[in-house]
């Protein structure tokens, strides 16, 4: 089986539904809903951006605007038994939105 990874740069039409702890449960992308497979492990980490990139848009008291939150999750299309895909998400702290970094075929 060949694994294909699409590297993406920013994505319109991306919505992420999370649980109370912030873990993604479902993603709406390109008109389709992908559900996180509860039987798989998710990876969660943070990376640091450059503070000088946020300086023009950051107001005093805005909090941590340089820590990017990342999730690598396994998803299936809708409620079907479709093949697993791996999605890597990144949350932009300045714009408070999710970005889709990669989609890979295969679990």
Cα–Cα distances (Å) from 82 to 12, 55, 75, 77, in that order, read 24, 44, 9, 6
pLDDT along the chain (107 residues), means of 10: 46 81 92 91 84 55 70 89 91 81 82
Cα–Cα distances (Å) from 97 to 13, 55, 91, 105, in that order, read 11, 18, 6, 24
pLDDT of residue 5: 46
Query: How far is CA 104 from its chain centroid?
Result: 13
Question: What pTM, to 2 d.p., does this model score?
Answer: 0.74
């Amino acid at each position: 089986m060949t694994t294909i990874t699409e590297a993406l740069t920013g994505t319109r039409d991306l919505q992420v539904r999370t649980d109370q702890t912030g873990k993604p449960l479902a993603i709406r992308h390109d008109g389709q809903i992908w559900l996180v497979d509860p039987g798989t492990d998710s990876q969660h980490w943070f990376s640091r951006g450059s503070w000088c990139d946020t300086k023009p848009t950051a107001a005093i008291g805005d909090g941590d605007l340089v820590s990017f939150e990342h999730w690598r999750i396994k998803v299936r299309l809708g409620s079907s038994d479709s093949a697993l895909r791996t999605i890597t998400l990144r949350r932009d702290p300045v714009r408070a939105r999710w970005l889709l970094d990669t989609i890979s075929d295969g679990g």
